[in-house]
Amino acid sequence: MSIKSKIDKALLILKHPSVLLEKQSYILILSHMRSRSSLLSHVLGSHDEVCGYGELHYDYPKKSSLIKMHVELLKDTGQSTTKGFFLDKLLHNSFVVSHDILKRKNVYIIILVREPEATVKSIVAMGDVTGDKGYLDVDAMLKYYTNRLNYLYQIAQEYEDVLIIDSDNIVDSTTETLSEIRNWLGLGTELTSSYKKFKKTGSAGHGDPSLNISAGEIIKTQNDLALEFDPTLLNKAKEIYSKVSGLKAF
């Protein structure tokens, strides 16, 4: 971090002393690429009690990591007041969330999953948009998906107070799903199917780079991309998806 960045963050903390003086709450969405995590993040981030809408690419090894998240979100959103929850999402096993963070009572863990075939089709489509050839490797993306869901399954088994959501329910049973999330978080007002567009909405590396996220409301999209899946890899992906979604998915 540059000296200027350190000074800017110190000034931000002075402007918002609640970063250090008040106990805040945090939402971590643990998911995988193309799970509709950007959609859920935008819906949550549009609520008056939630700050955050994208992917910070942070590790969370200790309490100070949450303060770092808090400061970065205030800087990104330019909000003049703090809110009840600060939100980030993590989509890769390379980003660490420690036991000390996962067990904290003020950290709310949402595990969001999507069935593998639709997920990989969406990843490949994203590769076409971004020009990232790695996303076009169907076998590699199935392996990524399976490895990620194995990790999420471990988290879901070890920590009882997580909320597991099948992302199809966000678009197929919107009202019921948003109500469940609202009640679980204890938000004062309802979550709605419409949402705001933020500074980095649609930017690659910070969430969904497609035009869909700019719709400003929950819509169900169709991907008719024809792909050939390795049967063994696909079966492994389906098995772990069933395990995770079958635990207590809403």
Q: Which residues make Cβ contacts (< 8 Å) with residue 77, sequence separation at least 6?
A: 51, 52, 198, 199
- Top pLDDT among 15 and 225 is at 225
In this prediction, residue 158 carries a pLDDT of: 94
Instruction: Flag the least confident range among 45-49, 68-72, 79-83.
Output: 79-83
Tens of pLDDT, residue by residue over 181-190, are: 999 999 999 9
Task: Determine what percent of the chain is predicted with pLDDT higher than 70.
Answer: 87
Residues 26 and 86: beta-carbon distance below 8 Å: yes
Which tokens belong to 99? 């036991």
d(Cα 139, Cα 233) in Å, to the nearest integer? 7
Give the mean model confidence (pLDDT) for residues 42-68: 93
Give the separation between CA 76 and CA 52, rounded to whole angstroms: 9
Q: Region 18-26: what's the mean pLDDT? A: 68
Looking up tokens 């590769």 gives 127
CA distance 133 to 214: 24
Q: What does the block give as tokens for 222?
A: 């169709």
pLDDT band at 201 (very low <50, low <70, confident <90, very high): confident
pLDDT bracket for residue 248 (50, 70, 90): confident
Q: Which amino acid is at 88?
A: D
The beta strand positions in the chain, using DSSP E, are 25-30, 50-51, 85-90, 107-113, 163-166
Contact of 146 with 233, CB cutoff 8 Å: yes
Structure tokens at 7: 């000074």
Residue 108 pLDDT exceeds 60: yes
| pTM exceeds 0.85 for this model | yes
d(CA 126, CA 212): 12
Q: How many Å apart are CA 250 and CA 246, to the nearest integer?
A: 9
38: domain CATH number? 3.40.50.300
Cα torsion through 94, 98, 101, 103, rounded to 10: 120
Per-residue pLDDT band at 195 (split at 50, 70, 90): very high
DSSP state of 199: T
Q: What is the mean pLDDT of residues 84-100?
A: 96
Contact 95, 59 (CB under 8 A): yes
Domain of residue 22 covers: 3-248
> How many separate domains does the chain show?
1
Is the pLDDT assigned to residue 5 strictly greater than 50?
A: yes
What is the model's pLDDT at position 10? 59
Please calculate the CA angle 93-96-98 and round it to the nearest 5 degrees. 130
pLDDT of residue 21: 44
Q: Tokens in use for 157?
A: 């088994």
